Structure 1
Amino acid sequence: MGQGRQYIRSQLLKRQLHLTNLDKVFWPEGLTKFDLIKYYVDMAPFLLPYLRDRPLVLKRYPDGITGEAFYQKECPAYAPDWVTTLPVYHADSSKTINYVVCNNEETLIWLANQGCIEVHAWLSRAGRLEYPDIAVMDLDPSAGATFKDVLDIALLVHQALKEFNLNGYPKTSGATGLHIFIPLEPRWTFHQVTAAMGYLARLVAGVYPRKATTERSIPKRKDRVYLDYLQNVRGRSMAFPYSLRPLPGAPVSTPLTWEEVKRGMFSPKDFNIHTARERLQAYGDLYRGFLAQPNDLEPLLKLAGV
């Protein structure tokens, strides 16, 4: 592992960063904490532009995916002084939380060293925190639904978005579902964005009620795909593109083309810590135009009555 340590040190020229327990197994297949950190070192140029200025919600797995995990919103008091934080007031709890903001490689690697396998971020950024620049439709299959069902519903969402002149970008969730990210001008509140996505979700569920639902009660969803528009509520966070997931095989939340979704010739497990770099080399970052092409929600908001 000495070579591995030297590899990571060679990437960290700006900050002193003490890495610990690099030999610890984090996935049952034998992948270690070093593999986790090395992955984020390699993926930092692709991941960081999407994370810039966003509050992060930490989910830590100090003993890997088979150990206990816990969520952490408040930046730990022992964090290095160069870790940027953003104070955010939450009216429901009357508390201010100092969230970690990850704008550089060193912070990303520090987070991985804390056992943060996943990268969960807000849909808004500092400076316009109350106005998301991303809306999301989270397609979550119930126990009896298939991944093909997820892809079919994703294509219906895509068609509905096109009807409103909106561009959506699909990616695997890294588990069994699919996320569709919709870039926005940061002009609308979380309430407005949630209402717009709720209207879209109900529209799709109405077209294909046998396979799609907006039912929040898990037993009532039956064998359908849940269109979870409530992920747009203020304070929620999502796994961002190229985030690892704490599941066997170390899957990665991976951007897709709509043509890939249409063909359906893949499994979410195909995209993982071993294949992510090769895919980027072959296809580039499929989200690369994402941030430069914000959508206008006004037509959808009018129909939603907001």
Structure 2
Amino acid sequence: MRRFDRTPEPSGASPEPAPEGVRRFVVQRHRARRLHYDVRFEIDGVLVSWAVPRGPTLDPDVKRMAVHVEDHPLEYEDFEGVIPAGEYGGGDVIVWDRGTWEPYKGDDPAADVARGELHAELHGTRLKGRFVLVRRGAADAGGKEQWLLLHKHDEHAVAGWDAEDHPTSVVSGRTNDEVKADPDRLWRSDLPAAQASVELHPPVPPGPTDDELAALDDLGRAGTWDVFGRSVRLTNLDKVLFPSRDGEEPVTKRELVRYAARIAPVALPYLRGRPLNMHRYPEGAATKGFWHKQLPGHAPDWVPRWDNPEADAGETTTYLVVDEPAALVWAANFGALEWHAWTSLAAEPRRPTYALVDLDPGTSTPWEDVLLLARLHRDAFAHLGVTAQPKLTGRRGIQIWVPIAVGPDFDETRAWVETLSRTVGAVVPELVSWRWEVRERGGQARLDYTQNAINKTLVAPYSPRAAAGAPVSAPITWEELDEPWLRPDAFTVRTVLDRIAERGDPFRTVLTHDQTLPRLR
């Protein structure tokens, strides 16, 4: 039997127990290296499991081969989603059937399994009646035991019954293809089982209430603001953080905090689960800022965080992770004028979920040339059939984010983006330099693929930028590249919320991470 200190599957803490005397079973349709059905019985606190390549059947005249595999934690019983490529069981999973079961011969299922014969009566949505699992012989060279699974001749037997005639989940009604295209959960085999099922589309909380915003307005220069169910200590609220643009008032810390609270529900899906590099300007955007990655010891206990297990001496050990909206309010009060989330999740820091294209204009690059480079990339992505989305930097350039399924490492995504951008750059070589040093580029633009690296970040969607008027790194549509009004700093903390109210968030398309980058050579 499996040892939890040796197997790649997590053991987990004890989950919520079933009613006394009730045993659960689950069958998961699992597409890993090849399609199979995982038949799992709750026995003595774990899911004792068999992989059945052709699936169970109600036909009593058909015997199915079953391979006895590792026990799984009870937390895995209701998992439906994807397991990242390269991990144990990598692929997509649906809950094909589930219910309760009871032994109909013997009263010690664990001993029955050890003896090589388990008799189980199932009460599921699809599988009903009496089944038997029988060991055929000794384990093979890989240590796997070969068993047979069959249904008894009883009132639930159905001749010709085939699992593949029923390809949907009994939980969601979705097929494996549909779950793979838009998974709700990710199973992280390297985490404790109680944390391994990671929710990918958690509900977005509502914004601050009118009463909460009024309370912020009523605070003096400092005070405690109760917002999103948290008490956030605010300081220096009347300090000017962003110089004014012509004809406008400067932006104060109070206004930045207010913006952080209002934009948090929109920005949260792009920040959640990701370490955050904060670009801080405690004295305002007119002064020199600095990168602040280490979460300070004085941060409230409720502020979510990630401890980096790979941190070397002198490196950042604990990062802020904006898993709830109040954390973004706290960061704004901390002087973080810009928010730069990692392109990988803390759960898998070396596996990015985005490939990034950074159109970095040179000192002599006019805005029209930046737009030309963006349109050429637009055409390239359309030709490749790749989903990608452009975003204004809030400064001078444009960035393009390409959502990908967890799998490739940063070396692979960087190489892919380099190949793509060099192909695009070859169309207009007079506009592009591939030199690393700015002073060596002759004022030309750089298509910077090097941002595809661990802990190197591009500014997050809807983050302010440290410049006059508090411009925002605002997502745009591909069609808006042709609009005459478009400028890289077209939207500010004072205008972007109205845009979202009128047009919605065009960046939501990058939140579905099911895309595989096509070969370019």
Higher RCO by CA contacts (8 Å cutoff, separation 6 or greater): 1
| CA spacing shift, 1:41–1:94, aligned 2, 3 Å | closer
Letter in 1 for 2:230: R
Tell me if structure 2 keeps the 8 A contact 1:213–1:225.
yes
CA shift for structure 1 position 10: 7.1
Aligned residue number for residue 17 of structure 1: 232
Q: Name the amino acid aligned to 1:240.
A: A
SS in 1 for 2:507: coil
How many angstroms apart in 1 are the aligned matches of 2:345 and 2:469?
32
CA contact (8 A) 1:56 1:237 kept: no
| Structure 1 position 54, deviation (Å) | 0.4
Letter matched to residue 59 of structure 1: H
For the residue of structure 2 that corresponds to 1:152, the secondary structure is helix
CA distance in 2, matches of 1:103, 1:9: 21
Alignment correspondent of 2:349? 129
Among 294, 313, 320, the residue aligned to 1:74: 294
TM-score (norm 1): 0.92
Alignment of 1:26-175 (within 5 A): 26-29=241-244, 30-89=250-309, 95=315, 97-175=317-395
Structure showing greater radius of gyration is 2
* C-alpha RMSD of matched pairs (Å): 2.2
Corresponding position of 1:239: 459
Match of 1:289 among 493, 496, 509: 509
1:234 Cα shift?
Answer: 1.2
Decide whether the 8 Å contact of 1:137 with 1:229 is kept in 2: yes
3-state SS of the aligned residue for 2:317?
strand
Q: In structure 1, what is the Cα distance between the partners aligned to 2:355 and 2:288? A: 31
Q: 1:90 and 1:144, CA in 2 relative to 1: closer, same or farther beyond 3 A?
A: farther
Distance change in 2, residues 1:213/1:24 (3 Å): same
* Partner Cα distance (1:261, 1:128) in 2: 34
| 1:192 equivalent among 396, 409, 412 | 412
Indicate the residue corresponding to 1:221 in structure 2.
441
Q: How many Å separate the matches in 1 of 2:519 and 2:312?
A: 31
Q: Contact (CA 8 Å) 1:151, 1:264: kept in 2 or not?
A: no
Q: Which secondary structure state, in structure 1, belongs to the residue aligned with residue 497 of structure 2?
A: helix
Is it true that 1:209 corresponds to 2:429 in the alignment?
Answer: yes
Compute the TM-score of the two structures, normalised by the length of structure 2. Answer: 0.55
The 4+ residue runs of structure 1 with deviation greater than 4 A are 5-11, 89-96
Match of 2:349, SS state, is: coil
Write out per-residue CA displacement over residues 55-84 of structure 1, whole angstroms, 9 at most, x where no aligned residue.
101111111112332211111111111112
Q: Which amino acid aligns with 1:283?
A: R
Distance 1:193 1:92 in 2: 25
**In the alignment, is the contact (CA less than 8 A) between 1:168 and 1:180 conserved in 2?**
yes
CA distance in 1, matches of 2:328, 2:315: 26
Q: What whole-Å deviation, never above 9, does each CA across 1:250-305 have from its counterpart, x for those lacking one?
A: 100011111111334322232112210111111100112221264211423xx2xx
Cα separation, partners in 2 of 1:254 and 1:130, compared to 1, 3 Å? same
SS of the residue corresponding to residue 368 of structure 2 reads helix
Structure 1 letter corresponding to 2:294? E
- My pick for the range that moved more, 145-154 or 10-19, is 10-19
Which range is displaced more, 10-19 or 112-121? 10-19
Amino acid aligned to 2:227? L
One-letter code of the match for 2:497?
Answer: R
Q: 1:219 to 1:93 in 2, by over 3 A?
A: farther
Higher mean C-alpha displacement, 83-92 vs 189-198: 83-92
Q: Which residue of 2 aligns with 1:252?
A: 472
Contact preservation (8 Å) 1:153, 1:212: no
User: Is the contact made by 2:384 and 2:518 (CA closer than 8 Å) also made in structure 1?
Assistant: no
Q: Which structure is higher in strand share?
A: 2
Select the residue among 451, 465, 489 that pairs with 1:269. 489
Deviations, residues 168-202 of structure 1 (Å, cap 9, x unaligned): 10010010000101111011101111111111121
Instruction: Extract unaligned runs of 5+ from structure 2.
Output: 1-213, 245-249
Contact (CA 8 Å) 2:226, 2:232: kept in 1 or not? no
Letter in 2 for 1:174: G
d(CA) in 2 for partners of 1:148 and 1:250? 23
The number of aligned residues is: 301
